[in-house]
Structure 1
Amino acid sequence: MNVHFIAIGGAAMHNLALALHHKGYTVTGSDDTIFEPSKSRLEAKGLLPDNFGWFPEKITPNIDAIVLGMHAKADNPELLKSQELGLKIYSYPEFLYEQSKHKTRVVIGGSHGKTTITSMILHVMHYHDRDVDYMVGAQLEGFEVMVRLTEDNDFIVLEGDEYLSSPIDPRPKFHLYKPNIALLSGIAWDHINVFPTYETYLEQFRIFVDSIVSGGSINYNEEDEDLRRLVEDSENTIRKLAYHTPEYRVENGQTVLSTPEGDLPVEIFGRHNLNNLAGAKWICQHMGIDEDDFYEAIASFKGASKRLEKIAEGSTSVAYKDFAHSPSKVQATTQAVKEQFKDRILLACLELHTYSSLNAEFLKEYKGTLDAADIAVVFYSPHAVEIKNLEKITKTQIATAFEREDLIIYTHPEDFKSYLCTQDFHNKTLLLMSSGNYGGLDFDEIKGWITSV
């Protein structure tokens, strides 16, 4: 099968390209720019385009499928040529469904936690040598790629994103997978550029629940009131199985989980992560893993990349970075780190980087989210606001939104970096939350500051 990727360099797209190459397909692709690590990984397999840009001449009648990435535009020259030739054009999720329509599809959705839950499931399967197909949104220890596709595996585990499928398909990705087994971790309004009201956003999850195949099942976090009501109100003929946060305690910086077999020390921490663990356990049991075997495996799970990832540790200090950017995740992550290291000063830094977080109207959703921190810092780039064509936001607006009088706000990367490098990290925990990089912050430098304490 000949497959051509329009915008092959994306994090998801290049992993799918690598998976198809491994499967024996002929893979080609184009992109106007490709960054690391996508560039090196494609180059290692001979899939890196010779030149960056869009080349309609690459699109020929012998191509069996076009996979269209979100980075491309609706007027992309290669897309227009594909449409002119009448080639089959797939969005990323559509193509994944085509590859998995004869498998048992396990789809993990929710506004937050889906990457972590998917990663937990794959960690457990890998630990017990159970081979499954998968698509996950973060690099995992022990896994070479983020997408795996085979002819033989019965199960495929898919992280179900609610964002748009492609430039010509505005449906949320997770509407296209038609799960046999599903999980929803919670609902917290996000992607306001696409879903301008909470009700519009909520409707996407109703559609997802109704897309589960008849006779299938959904596991859902019953602690989320809107999610619980949405699932219970669905008339789809599926099994509805609730889960909740298990009992746990924190002793000397160690989280201990209560299980039927006794206390179990675990590497992860935070109420939200243990809630994720409860959901992952259910899914693994659906996939044939006994409860005892699940606990044995999950004890060694250290987390997905950029999800509460420990980046440095000294004798009395530690630093974590986390992908948190939505208000609910920022609050949960900040509280989790403070609970884990309650006797240390918590310095929590949040970069407002996404379209939603830089929207003046949405800012009020951040009220109280950094309250668990002893020192709270917010960084944002006025230039990023301009690029996204948003209304200017001021430091006063941010301070008012967070409702914290001692909030420290930076708008220039060098000023933020200078602040961090002059900190005394003795008896201190540093938490860096962002889907960006604070205007080019060098995380290796941070390691030096922390480990020298």
Structure 2
Amino acid sequence: MNVHFIAIGGAAMHNLALALHNKGYQVTGSDDEIFEPSKSRLDAKGLLPEAFGWFPEKINSSLDAIVLGMHAKADNLELLKAQELGLKIYSYPEFLYEQSKHKTRVVIGGSHGKTTITSMILHVLHYHDRDVDYMVGAQLEGFDVMVKLTEHNDFMVLEGDEYLSSPIDRRPKFHLYKPNIALLSGIAWDHINVFPTYENYVKQFSIFVDSIVSGGSINYNEEDAEVKRVVEASQNTIRKIAYHTPEYTVDNGQTLLDTPVGALPIEVFGKHNLNNLAGAKWICQHMGIDEDDFYEAIATFKGASKRLEKIAESKNSVAYKDFAHSPSKVEATTNAVKEQYENRTLIACLELHTYSSLNAEFLKEYKGALDAADVAVVFYSPHAVEIKKLEKVSHEQIANAFERDDLIIYTNPDDFKNFLFSQNFDDKALLLMSSGNYGGLDLDAVRGVIG
């Protein structure tokens, strides 16, 4: 096939382009800007556009398919030319379904935990040399690409994102995969720029459950009341199998998972990650991995990229960074680090960076999210608020939202850095939570003060 990508440089899009190239397809693409690591990875395979921009002359009737990325706009010149020529235009998830429609599709959905659960499943399968097609939203240790497509594999494991499919297809991505085997980890309001009410957001998960192929199955986190309600209310003719957090203990900074053959030391920690592990175990069993083999493999799982990633450690101090930004993720991550290092002072720093987190009304969702921290710090950039064209948020609004009198708030990157580097980190745990970089924080410098 001859496939052209409009907005080839995105994290998801460039991985799909690489997967098709590896499969033997003819791949071309365009974008108005491409950053690292996408740029180098595309260049290494000869897929980097010669010039940045949109070029309608690239679009012609010899193309078998167009894959349209979210970064493009509905009036994109290449898109308009493709529509004029009547070419087949796919969104990213539509094309993944097209590539996997004759396979058993395993889809992991949820507001939180889906990347980690998908990563756990792939780690276990890889450990036992089980080859599957997949799409995951993080770079995994031992995997060269985030998307793999073949003609011969029986299974396709997909991380099911609830965000929109393309500029001209406003359906959530996970509505398009039609899973045979599904999992739902949790529901907590997010993406308020797309789903302005909680009820509208929850409805997307009901549609997901109803999209499971008749006779298929769903594993669901019964500890999440909304997940339990949504799954059990569905009239879809599928098997519904609940899971819950397994028993575990923490001993001197080491998490031990209770198993039928005794306590198993594992690399990941926190109640939310143990809950994720329980879900991953069920899915692996559906895919032919027995319980003992799962435990053997999961003991070596170190976590998904940017999820509770240890960046520095010394004899009596440790630092983690995490992608957490939504209220439920922030709370779960903060609780996890405090539980793992209960005898150390926890300094938890959160950057409010996303559209949702900088919305004055949505801020109220953060109530209690940092309660487990001994020292709680929030950083946000007023400039980011301006760029996103949101109403200004004040110190007072943030302080009121978190309901914590001793909350430390910074809006100047230098002030935040001065605070951080003035700390004595003896007997402390540092947690940095953000989908941004705190206005240019040097993580090597953080490593220097910790280790």
Aligned to 1:446: 446
TM-score normalised to the size of structure 1?
A: 0.99
Q: How far apart are 1:450 and its partner, in Å? A: 0.8
Query: Could you tell me which residue of structure 2 aligns to residue 83 of structure 1?
Result: 83
Look up the match of 1:382.
382
1:240, distance to aligned residue in structure 2 (A): 0.2
| One-letter amino acid matched to 1:179 | P
Normalised TM-score (structure 2): 0.99
- 2:391 matched to which residue of 1? 391
In the alignment, which residue of structure 2 is the partner of 1:325?
A: 325
User: Per-residue deviation at 1:446?
Assistant: 1.0
Q: Could you tell which deviates more after superposition, 437-446 or 246-255?
A: 437-446
| 1:19-98 paired onto structure 2 within 5 Å | 19-98=19-98
Q: Distance in 1 between matches of 2:343 and 2:227?
A: 35
Looking at structure 1, the residues matched to 69 and 371 of structure 2 have their Cα atoms a distance apart, in angstroms, of 39
Whether 2:278 is the aligned partner of 1:281: answer: no
Q: CA deviation at 1:314?
A: 1.1
Quick one: distance in 1 between partners of 2:227 and 2:194?
Answer: 20
Q: Secondary structure at the match of 1:40?
A: helix
**What secondary structure does 2:22 align onto?**
helix
Where 2:74 maps in the other structure, the secondary structure is coil
User: Which residue of structure 2 aligns with residue 162 of structure 1?
Assistant: 162
Cα distance, 1:22 vs structure 2: 0.3
Cross-structure match for 1:250? 250
Q: Name the SS of the counterpart of 1:409 in structure 2.
A: strand
Q: CA deviation at 1:403?
A: 0.6
Q: Please give the per-residue CA displacement for 1:156-196, whole angstroms capped at 9, x wherever unaligned.
A: 10000000000000000000000000000010000111111
TM-superposed deviation, 1:414:
1.6
5 Å matches for 1:248-397? Answer: 248-397=248-397
Task: Provide, for residues 328-387 of structure 1, a one-character-per-residue CA deviation record: whole Å limited to 9, x for no partner.
Answer: 110010000000000111000000011110000000100111010000000101111111
- Structure 2 letter corresponding to 1:356: S
**1:52 Cα deviation after fit:** 0.6
Partner of 2:222: 222
Q: CA deviation at 1:412?
A: 1.5
After superposition, the CA RMSD in angstroms is 0.6
Equivalent residue letter for 1:323 = F
Local SS of the residue matching 1:386: helix
Once residues 202 and 355 of structure 2 are traced to their aligned partners in structure 1, the CA distance between those partners, rounded to angstroms, is 19
Unaligned runs of 5+ in 2: none
Name the amino acid aligned to 1:162: E
1:109 aligned partner = 109
Amino acid at match of 1:202: V
Give the Cα separation in 2 of the matches to 1:372 and 1:218: 32
**How far is 1:154 from its partner?**
0.2
Residues 86-116 of structure 1, C-alpha deviations (whole Å, 9 max, x = no match): 1100000000000000000000000000000
* Structure 2 SS opposite 1:102: coil
AA of the residue aligned to 1:432: L
Whether 2:208 is the aligned partner of 1:208: answer yes
State the SS of the aligned residue for 1:242. Answer: strand
What is the deviation of 1:422?
1.3
Per the TM alignment, residue 315 of structure 1 is displaced from its structure 2 partner at its CA by 1.2
Following superposition, the deviation at residue 241 of structure 1 comes to 0.2
CA distance in 2, matches of 1:221, 1:10: 31
Which residue does the alignment assign to 1:185? 185
SS in 2 for 1:227: helix
Q: Output the amino acid matched with 1:408.
A: I
CA deviations 1:288-332 (Å, max 9, x no partner) are 000000000000100000000111111111110111111011001
Return the alpha-carbon distance in structure 1 between the equivalents of residues 349 and 77 of structure 2: 42
Residue identity in the other structure for 1:422: S
Matching of residue 238 in structure 1 with residue 234 in structure 2: no
Task: Find the aligned partners of 1:430 and 1:72 in 2 and give their Cα distance.
Answer: 38
Paired residue type of 1:228: K
Amino acid at match of 2:277: L
Distance in 2 separating the partners of 1:64 and 1:383: 43
Sequence identity (%): 83
* Paired AA for residue 339 in structure 1: E
Q: Separation in 2 of the partners of 1:441 and 1:55?
A: 37
Partner residue of 1:427?
A: 427
Residue range with higher mean Cα deviation, 40-49 or 439-448: 439-448
Question: C-alpha displacement at 1:423, in angstroms?
Answer: 1.2
Per-residue deviation, residues 393-428 of structure 1 (Å, max 9, x unmatched): 011110111011111111111221121111111111
CA distance in 1 between partners of 2:284 and 2:389 (Å): 44
Name the CA distance, whole Å, in 2 between partners of 1:347 and 1:363.
21
Give the Å deviation of 1:199.
Answer: 0.6
Letter in 2 for 1:212: I
Q: Which residue of 2 aligns with 1:411?
A: 411
**Aligned residue pair count:** 451
Q: Which residue of 2 aligns with 1:175?
A: 175
Q: Distance in 2 between matches of 1:57 and 1:40?
A: 25
Work out the CA distance in 2 between the residues paired with 1:8 and 1:422: 43
* 1:114-159: CA deviation from partner (whole Å, max 9, x where unpaired): 0000000000000000000000000000000000000000001000
